[in-house]
Structure 1
C-alpha cells in the first residue's frame, strides 16, 4: 500500500532571469514502511521536489498531485500543512543551523515542538527530549539539553535535528542529506538509528542523498534524478548492480573508487620555508548553565607551514572546527597563544585587524548558515571588494561573475538568492567569497561535504589550482579521509579536544600509531554496491 503518491509533479521557480524548471513531470510512489531513496547530482532537483511538495518553497509554481494517505498536499492551506508537518510528516534538513534558532537552547526547541502538537507537561516533554538526545548519541544529554546550537559541531547539530524529527513519531520521515555533515564513524550510527526508528515505529523513510554508497546500503528502492527529470526507478539492488540509464551508469562510475583509486591531487613541490601560523599550548572551555565547564580544546600546539595543505580530521564534536575558528581569530582561547606571521593575533586591533581579515578567510561547513538569505549572490560574493574598497560598480560585478565562473557556477546567476541554489552550489558560493581577496590562509571546513561525487573532484581540482596560482595555504578540515589523504601534505588527528597524531599522509595510512586513528581509517571503507566493488577490484 502506498503512503505517498506523486503524480506528474512540475515545479517552476521564478527568477529575474526567467523561470527555473526545477522538476519536470516526475511521478513515483512510496510504500508503507519502506526506505525510499532519491539520488542525483547537486542541482538535480531532488531537494526542491520534496520541499515544494511539503509547501516549503512558497515562491514555486507547483502543479500535479502529491497524495499523502490519499489527501493532496498541494491543495491544503498553510495551517493544514503545518499540522501535517512535524506530527505526521517530519523533515531532517541538510543545513541544521538554518533550522535551529540561535537564541534558544536545543532542549527548549525540542520541548517546544512536542508541546506545540501534543498535550504534554514541560517535565514529560523534557524527559522525552533527553531520551531522544541519548538515542542520537549526544554525549551527556542531560547537561547538553541547556546548550545553544553554536556550542555544537555541525555533526552534532544534525543529530539534534534528527532528534527533533523523531519527537512526535511521524508516519513519514523525510531526510535531506542527513549524514552529509557527519564523519564516517557517526554516519553509520545515524543510518542505524533511522533504521531502528523505522523498525520500532513502522515509519516510512524518504531519504535524499548524493552518496551512492550510503544509499545502496539503506534504501529498498531508489529513484535517480537529473536536471529535474526522473531517469530511473527500481529496487535498489537492481538499479545499482544493473543500471539501465546512461546517467545512472555515469553516477556509479563516478563512485567507483577506493582510497587508493581516487584521483591524486598534487601538492606543493618544495618544502615550506616557514610557518604562517603557530599555535602554542591553547585551551578553550565553555561555561555550562549547570555543572563544570566543558573543555573543547585541551593544550594544543600546532604549526601551519606556508604554502602547505594541513589536514585536520576527527569525529564530529572533537573540536576541529573550534580549533580552526580560534586560528582565524573568531574565538579567543582561554589560555595559550595563536600567532600569524609571528604576531600574536590577540594583540591585533584597529586597522591592523582589518588587514588581518584580508589574510585569513574561512569556507564554513554550513554554507546556508553563512549566506544572508535576503541578499543576492552577487552582493554576497562582492562583499569583500566592497568592505575593503577594492572594487566598485561594473568592475566589482565583473570580478564577482569571474569568481562564480571559477567555482563552476553560471555567472548569469549573479542576481539569484541563496535559496535558489542547491546545497552544493551554495558551498561553491562560499568558496568564491573566500578567495575574492587572494588571502594567505584559507580555512576549509568540510568544503566538499555537500557535493556529490561528480562535483567533488572538480572542486578539489579548483582548490589545488588556486593554491598554486595564488600561493595559498590551506587548513583543510574533513571527515572524508580519502579526500584528506590526497589533498594534504600533513594530517593532524583530533580526539576529545587534543591532537593525538600528526604526520604525512602515506606514513599515517600505512602505519597509524594511535588506536583512534586506526578506527577512523577502518570506518572510512563504506560498503559500495556489488557492481562498484567489482570495478574497484579490477
Structure 2
C-alpha cells in the first residue's frame, strides 16, 4: 500500500545553473504520475530528488519532499540511505547495468530485505517467487537460480521491478523502464508493471519521453521543460486538449508522420546494394567456416539508388549484425555483398578508399561514437582530409557547409562532444557520415536514444538530406513507427532470418507476414485504453 507523495517548491542547482525550478505536485496511493519532457528537462533529476539524492555536482537547494509522514529532505544522509529500497524504490532504465553478473538473481532480488532486516532469507525467497508470478516471469520457482546473462532483457527488467517491490515500498519510481526494450517485450513489461502497481495500490512516479507509453500507465502527467513545470493535468485531458504550447509540440512529435522522400525508388532504377545469401556470426569458426555463434542465415536484400529500406525485428534478430557485415566490420561466413555492381571484399581493411567513402555508418549511441577529446571541427575534418584531401580554408568552408546541412550553428565547431545535447551529437554523427559524400548510409537505431521531439527532428533532417543529396539509407530499428515514417520498404527479421519484405503501399493494407502484424500491433497508440483493448482482444482470441 502506497503513501501520499507531496512535493513543494523543489529546486535543484548545479553551480550557478538551475536544473529544477520550484516544482510542486502531489501523488495519491494507487496513482501514477508521469514526468515527461525532452532530454535535459529535469525528469530524472526530479525523480532522484524524491529519494533525497542529487547527482555529483548537483545540490537540492530548496523545497520539501514528503512521503507519508516522512520529510525526506530533513533526514540526515544515513537515514536517507535507510529510506532507499524500503520507503522508496527505484527502477532504472538499464537493468543490465543494475545487476551484478557474478551473483544469482535471487541473491540480488532479496538483498533489500537483508539490508533493511525486514525478514528471514526463506521468507524473502518465498516473497520473491510470488513477485515473479505477479510479474508474469517464466519458471517463477527456479528463475532466481539463474545469473543475469541467462535471462532476456525484458525478463531482467521485470526482475529489477521485483527487487524494487520486495521491500513493500510506499513510493515506486520508474525511470524510462521500457525505453531499451523492443516493442513486443515492452508490451509484456508494461502489462506486468501496471498490474503490480494497481494490485498493490502503490504510489508511482513514471519518468518517460514516450507519450504513447505514458498514456497506458499514468493517471496524471506533469510536463517539464528546462526544469520548470509547463503543465499538470489528468492524462486524458492532456492528450485531448493540451493547454501549453510546448505540450502541443510534444504531442505533435509523438504522432506518426510519413516523411516522403520526394522521389520513388524507380526514378533511378540503378541497383546500389545487393546482399546475396549472407550468413554471419561471432566466435571462432569451424573447418567449414561456420562461426561458433551463428546470427544471420541466408539473407537476400536489394536496395536501389535513392531508396530507404527499413530493417526491423526484436533484439537479437540480427539487424545490427547485417549492418556490420555490409559495412565490413564483420566477416560473413557465407554469401556476398554487391555494391554498385562489384562484389565488396568481406573486411573493411581489404576495401579501397573509394568503397570506404561510399558506405558510411551512423551508430545508435552518439556518446560512444564521438571521440570526447576531439573538437567537433576535428571530428568533421578527419574524413574530409582522408577522403577529399581538403586543407586550409576549403576544409573550414566545407565544415561550415556540413554544419549548415545538419542544422547546427557554426559555433559548435570549437566545442567538445560533452558540451552538446544528445540530438546535437547525433547530428554531428550524421555530418561526419555526409562528409565522405556517401551513396549509402547505414543507420543503426539512430533515434532510439533520443527523446520524441529531438528524434522527430532528426528524422525530418534525414528525409530532407535524402531529397537534396539523393543518399540511400539502410535504416535499422526496433521501432516500427519510425521505420514506416522514413522508409519505402521494410525488411522483417526474426532469429537471423528474413521473414518478409513489405512495400509502403502494403504497410497497413496487408495481408502481411504474421510476425510483421504482431510487431505492428505491439506499438502503443497515443490514446488511453489501448493496452486494455489489447488485453481484451487477447482474452477473446480462440
Q: TM > 0.5 between the two?
A: yes
Matches of residues 113-152 of structure 1 in structure 2 within 5 Å? 115=111, 118=114, 135=135
**2:275: which partner in 1?**
278
TM-score, structure 2 length as denominator?
0.75
Superposition TM-score, scaled by structure 1 size: 0.76
Which one has the largest radius of gyration? 2
Q: Which moved more, 1:207-216 or 1:452-461?
A: 452-461
Tell me which residue corresponds to 2:7: 6
Following the alignment from structure 1 to structure 2, what is the Cα–Cα distance between the partners of residues 386 and 109? 49
SS at match of 2:275: strand
Aligned to 2:437: 438
Residue 144 of structure 1 and its aligned partner are, at CA, apart by 12
Other-structure match for 1:60: 58
| Contact in 1 for aligned 2:323/2:442 (Cα 8 Å) | yes
Contact persistence 1:272–1:308 (CA under 8 A)? no
Q: Is the deviation greater in 315-324 or in 357-366?
A: 357-366
Which digits, 9 at most, give the CA deviation of each residue in 1:43-94, with x for residues without a partner? 43323433466535212243123525324348754x7666555555444445
Task: Tell me how far 1:431 sits from its aligned partner.
Answer: 3.5
Partner of 1:233 in structure 2?
232
Q: What stretches of structure 2 of length at least 5 have no aligned partner? A: 285-290, 530-542
Deviations 1:121-178 (A, max 9, x none): 89x98x96999699577999969955759xx9xxx64663453343242624333333
Q: Aligned pair in 2 of structure 1 residues 302, 204: CA closer, same or farther (>3 Å)?
A: same
CA contact (8 A) 1:401 1:412 kept: no
Counterparts in 2 of 1:179 and 1:369: CA distance versus 1, 3 Å: farther
Structure 1 distance, partners of 2:66, 2:148, is 36
Equivalent residue, structure 2, for 1:31: 28
> Structure 1's 410 and 273: CA in aligned 2 closer, same or farther, altered over 3 A?
same
CA distance in 2, matches of 1:386, 1:144: 53
Q: Which residue in the other structure is 2:533 paired with? A: none
The separation in 1 between residues aligned to 2:139 and 2:369, in whole angstroms, is: 26
Counterparts of 1:114 and 1:357, CA distance in 2: 51
In structure 2, the CA distance between the partners of 1:131 and 1:4, relative to structure 1 (3 Å rule), is closer
Measured after TM superposition, the shift of residue 505 of structure 1 is: 1.7
**Coordinate RMSD, CA, aligned:** 4.6
Q: Provide the residue aligned with 1:523 in structure 2.
A: 522
- Aligned ranges 1:107-506 → 2 under 5 Å: 111=107, 115=111, 118=114, 135=135, 157=153, 160-169=156-165, 171=169, 172-199=171-198, 201-255=200-254, 257=255, 262-268=258-264, 270-284=267-281, 295-340=294-339, 342-346=342-346, 348-349=348-349, 352=351, 358-368=357-367, 370=369, 375=373, 378=376, 381-382=379-380, 384-385=382-383, 388=386, 406-408=405-407, 412=411, 423-506=422-505
- Distance (whole Å) between structure 2 residues aligned to residue 96 and residue 379 of structure 1: 36
How far residue 501 of structure 1 moved from its aligned partner, in angstroms, is 0.7
Structure 2 CA distance for aligned equivalents of residues 388 and 380 of structure 1? 12
CA 1:498–1:89 in structure 2 vs 1: closer, same or farther (change >3 Å)? Answer: farther
Give per-residue Cα distances to partners, 1:308-345, cap 9 Å, x unaligned: 21111123332222322232233334444445553443
TM-aligned CA distance change 1:281 to 1:240, over 3 Å: closer
Report the CA distance between 1:106 and its aligned residue.
8.2
Change (3 A) 1:444 1:327: same
SS in 1 for 2:346: helix
Shift of 1:508: 4.5
The total of aligned residue pairs comes to 507
Note the residue ranges of structure 1 that are not aligned, 5 or more in a row.
531-538
CA distance in 1, matches of 2:106, 2:427: 32
CA distance in 2, matches of 1:132, 1:398: 59
| Aligned CA distance change for structure 1 residues 53 and 13 (closer, same or farther; 3 Å) | farther
CA contact (8 A) 2:318 2:493 kept: yes
